Amino acid sequence: MFSALLAVAMAGNYLAIAQSAGDANAQTVTAIVRELQKHLDAEVAGNPGIPGELLHIISPKHKLDVSLASGVFDRETKRPLDPHHVFRVASVTKTFTAAAILRLYEDGKIKLDDPINRYLPQDYVSVLEEGEYATKTITMRHLLTHTSGIHDYATDPKYQTAALSNPKKHWTRMEQVQLAMKLNKPHFEPGKGFHYSDTGYVLLGEMIERLSGKSLGQAFRDLLDFKKLELDETYLETLEPAPVGIKELSHPYFGSMDTVNFDPSFDLYGGGGLVSSAEDLARFYRALLQGKVFRRPETLQEMLTIPETNERRMGGGYGMALQRGKLAGFVVWGHLGFWGTAAGHSPDLDLTIVRHVNQGQLGREFRLNALYEQIAETLKIRN
């Protein structure tokens, strides 16, 4: 899943070797950064499907903390993309949603193995039950790990056709849940399989609001302590004002279609919806995987625990909105987003990586690891 980040991990590995040999100096770091920029430029230039690309890497242990950009902010004006332009992170939002739920768990407001009907408003319970979904059997843990069996409205072709044909429509959370019920019955009994479900995560978003007594955006800020983590370029699009002074939202493309003016409600309520910068996302994932978001280390272990049903899903296994992958033989935890975002942290390498291309679902048409293979060759790194 995270092979797209291979060469960055290899670059971190190279730095570790260099440092142990006593030559990890500023000149070495500068040379690596120069090579990263060179290959980033070559990747964008060689792939017309990519208008622009961002890369942020943090590894203080290896004296590496860099933001890079290549390509354009939008195809019409061809303004250069800035390393600090913000973007829609799509499903990377799920990691924030899961972490907020786990903070409520730490505060004693939920139990992970409680049925969801204890925490959902009755109108949602009724809709789910009418769709033949057993709210007395589906647990919070099932929603968090995509093992509830609830149909995913977001990847259903009928929903995608409706959203693309009417891009100005404002969707409500309830409409999306109702649509999921109409589109499909349960995929399996709760806990008996894996079915990636934005529907489950918008239900979690509803529960966060109900249990915290706050809007989803404010609940994220308070439960995850945005101020402490210095997440000052992150917000829920249209549900709260953009932070003062941040860069503009880079244009997200779907093929040749510029979707910047689409109503963001098509992916907004917990399964997606956040706008952020590469630097903010790197800070968040680094803090999360270093145990700085939760009060207890056991909570992070809950998040990283992969059910048996999920062991080979989403690349290398899926816990609670964290995907497990390998980079140069090292474990990395992170998440991918529809609009071209990959974010992850490798504890063993002390390496945090965020990559964003402003093109949706590019992975099916483009070898995302090409840049990193080139860098590995440049550095003559071998596993």
Query: Which domains can be identified in the chain, with CATH numbers?
Result: 1-47+368-383 (no CATH), 75-344+355-365 (3.40.710.10)
Beta strands in the chain (DSSP E): 52-59, 64-71, 87-88, 235-236, 253-254, 257-258, 274-276, 323-327, 330-337, 341-346, 351-357
Predicted local distance difference test score (pLDDT) of residue 362: 58
Q: Cα 25–353–8 angle (5° rounding)? A: 55
The pTM of this model reads: 0.91
Please give the Cα distance from 180 to 151 (Å, whole number): 6
Q: 234 by DSSP, 3-state: which? A: coil
Dump the DSSP string for 58-97. EEGGGTEEEEEEEEBS-TTT-PBPPTT-BEE-GGGHHHHH
Please give the Cα distance from 229 to 26 (Å, whole number): 27
pLDDT, tens digit only, all 383 positions of the chain: 444 444 444 444 444 434 443 444 677 778 888 888 988 898 899 888 899 999 998 877 657 788 999 999 999 999 999 999 999 999 999 999 999 999 999 999 999 999 999 999 999 999 999 999 999 999 999 999 999 999 999 999 999 999 999 999 999 999 999 999 999 999 999 999 999 999 999 999 999 999 999 999 999 999 999 999 999 999 999 999 999 999 999 999 998 999 999 999 999 999 999 999 999 999 999 999 999 999 999 999 999 999 999 998 887 899 999 999 877 777 889 999 999 998 989 898 788 889 999 998 754 333 445 554 543 343 333 44
Q: Cα 330–271–88 angle (5° rounding)? A: 80
Nearest CA-CA partner of 135 in 216, 91, 199, 179: 199
- Class of residue 25 by CB neighbours under 10 A (exposed 0-12, middle 13-18, buried 19+): exposed
Q: Measuring CA to CA, how many Å separate 77 from each of 38, 54, 151?
A: 23, 18, 40
| Tokens linked to 278 | 């590469």
Please give the Cα distance from 143 to 198 (Å, whole number): 9
Number of neighbouring beta carbons within 10 Å of residue 241:
9
Beta bridge partners of 325: 332
Please give the Cα distance from 114 to 341 (Å, whole number): 32
Contact 193, 168 (CB under 8 A): no
Predicted local distance difference test score (pLDDT) of residue 151: 98
Q: 5 by DSSP, 3-state: which? A: helix
Please give the Cα distance from 49 to 84 (Å, whole number): 21
The residue count of the chain comes to 383
Nearest CA-CA partner of 227 in 214, 243, 212: 243
Predicted local distance difference test score (pLDDT) of residue 16: 45
| Tokens linked to 165 | 């044909």
Please give the Cα distance from 89 to 274 (Å, whole number): 6
